[in-house]
Amino acid sequence: MAERRKATDEKIYRAAVIEFGENGYSNTTLASVAKSSGITPGLIVQNFGSKENLFRKIAIDINTRIQQELVSYSSTWELRCMAIVENTIKMLNSDPETIHYMKFYVSLITSLDTPEDVIKELLEMYHKTPTEKIVKDAQAKGDVLDGDPFTVQSLFWINMINTICFCFTYKLDYPPTEWFLQVIRKH
């Protein structure tokens, strides 16, 4: 029974990642997630409680994974960013479904309809990780522009993910990792 529940939750979760990533929070419904996953809307409510809870779970999971990954890289802004770009391309090439998680993350940090408490929770999580310090140190040294560290990091992720997704989708060569850093320095 537990294995069946886990498999059902995984189907819902994966379908929701795609739906939210493609359509944003407001334009995704439990009915659309249910249709994509082959599960009834009632079962989604039973397993996750609500659309907002499902969205929150995915958002927190993805952000936690990203923060954990960030911590594992070098402590300098430049080396960290380059490692992230290289790892993202590697993950996408080994598992093309990663593109859905990337699109979800872009939707999360660019959407004006993301629930306020989800944004607040993500900001709190961000400020509890070393990422904020690394971005501030890079700003102090002039490696990246001044501004809110969360905004700088978000700009990097949006630029990186959109560029990599575009190149992956249209089978183009990826730009060199240094290019991503230059974009952040200019903006």
* Mean pLDDT of all residues belonging to the chain: 89
**Over residues 121-143, mean pLDDT:** 83
Q: Residues 155, 147: contact at Cβ < 8 Å?
A: no
Residue 187's pLDDT is 63
Give the chain's domains with CATH numbers. 52-186 (1.10.357)
**pLDDT over 90 (residue 141):** no
pLDDT tens-digit series, residues 25-77: 999 999 999 999 999 999 999 999 999 999 999 999 998 888 787 777 777 88
Residue 131's pLDDT is 78
